[in-house]
Structure 1
Amino acid sequence: MKSLCAPTRSTLVVALAFALVSAGNTLALQSEGRSITRTGPVRLVALNHASIAFMVARTKADCDHVELWNADTKGVWRFGKPGPCTNLGSTGTGISAVGVSGNRALWIRYTGGNLRDWQLLTATTTQRMPRQVRLLEQDVDLPSPFLIGDSTGGLGIPYAAGKQVVLLGANGAAVFRFTDAARIVRVTAGKGPGGAVVAALRETGEVVLLRTNGTVVRVVPFAAGAVKAIALAPAGLVVQIGGAVRIPGSSLPAAVLPEGAVMSDYAEGRILYALKNETHALSISNGADTLLLRSAGGAPIFTTADTHGLGWAQGRQVTFACSGCVKVSR
């Protein structure tokens, strides 16, 4: 989950003022923003300041791969050599998650037959050949053994493997490694109270908050399976339980999302959520709801945000708009 929750992201929602106009297949920002077009459909966008990492899907001429675009400098870097995929595996291959921090991207690739290899790969704008961080082989019917979380404020990219939580620094080294008593099913990063920088959801229901040295700030109890999404904000841990989003211990009221909606980001009292072919921002204090983007052509929209602006992908196009160019309802 991409979290909008660190202080470095707080100005985003203050400056966000979305005015919607019809633009092709998407309701888009009033500002044209900055866009690039790729050779294949774009998926799995992640944003940290002006760095946007994304996956370009496989075509006949090129294998699926990860790229990084700096929307400020306009530099674009492709990770790995171009060319068709050489190993599709009998049960398929693909990229299931992407994260970014500064000039570093982290992603999950899978391939194989009855046994599937899951790789955690990383690369940077200066070292563009992917380097394997972790490799796990398991039955093809099992879900990914790896999770990648949000990067906030240059802290690094959090990921989880089974019971272990790692914060991967922008330099490629682990800021910390923490082993929990239970399997981790969600992870995110932000600047929270008490020095918390990473929040990890256990399969038993509790959320563990961790400092930069890997020590536990606190454990917030919930019933197993109750929490749908998490974020970490200066105000505290943000959780979605059922159709409501709340901050335990805060005086802020719970915000009720439409049926079927899932929180994807949070910042400065606003929840970013997806619903069918739409992306919305909802105020947790007064319930004001703003439609940000809508796909009118059937192609899904992948949205990501940071204090520096908003990024999204649809079809073969990736777009970035600065934070001062957009608006939300007050």
Structure 2
Amino acid sequence: MKHAFGAAVCLAAFALPGHAAPADHYPEKPVRIVVPFAAGGGGDFIARAFADKLSATLKQPVIIDNRGGGNTVTGTEAVAKAEPDGYTLLIVSPSFATNPTLLPRLPYRTPDDFAPIGLVITYAMGLAARANLPANDIPQLLELAARQPGKLTIATSGEGSASHMATELFKAATHANILDVPYRGAGPAMLDVASGHVDLAFTGLSQIKPHLDSKRAKLLATSGLRRLQSAPDIRTIAEQGVKDFEAVVWWGMFAPAGTPKPIIDKINGALRISLADPEVAKRFEVIDGEVRVSSPEEFDRFVREEIKRWGKLLKPSKATTASP
């Protein structure tokens, strides 16, 4: 009884009006967002698009920390091992859900070593090609691939990334024999497409557009079920004969497991305010991004379903990859 009474007294003390809840004074110092990709890629673009507004909402500096490498494992592990105090956050993409299948010896448990904050945004990708590729649409590309089996190359942001998943879906749907070339991020991948070192890449329009403007790359198709507002003349892959094809990128945010729920909820609320800002919406126009801030619980369910979904595709996959 003494122990029970003591526990009751402790709990009562936390309920007293004068006792500060975990989120009352959060944040009191800069907040760091780890992007587990190289600078210039999709995650870097997404994080920087709303970082200033998130900083203004939280009233503390928000620092972007690019930690590319290890197929996102380097940056992700750093967050898994960080203090669960809300000052180290992680931006994630589909690779977070595919790595448990591709890399069974991860130095952390996915998703149990992380506290979900929320889904942030989704968008379709473009299928870009080097400017002098002798194909200008999907039928021409498939004809070229059939004439030169295994000769065409497609850059991805590493195994398990959204671009890799789009590539695998495309190859499965079309039976095209195209060689994957994994990179450390979408930025370096598109640079090599524009330079003519690789033929193709699935990635967001924010990475493709500068190379379209310089005429060093061209856009063959987009990966959603509807055309992009930023590229209305470019037909979707589905429109070009690959029935029901759809490959969408999603980005979300986690904190280390054990981060107090009131702090998680405070960050989620700050995200909602920041992403609703018209300036942020304008930055996302270039990728036709759809802001979709979910609750932490909804995001947790979503990620667990993604892990199951991609596990089914990847386990029987016999995709061939090569180093860039």
TM exceeding 0.5: no
Normalising to structure 2: TM-score of the pair? 0.24
Higher helix proportion (structure 1 or 2): 2
User: Which protein, 1 or 2, shows the higher relative CO under an 8 Å CA cutoff with sep ≥ 6?
Assistant: 2
Normalising to structure 1: TM-score of the pair? 0.23
Which structure is larger by alpha-carbon Rg, 1 or 2? Answer: 2
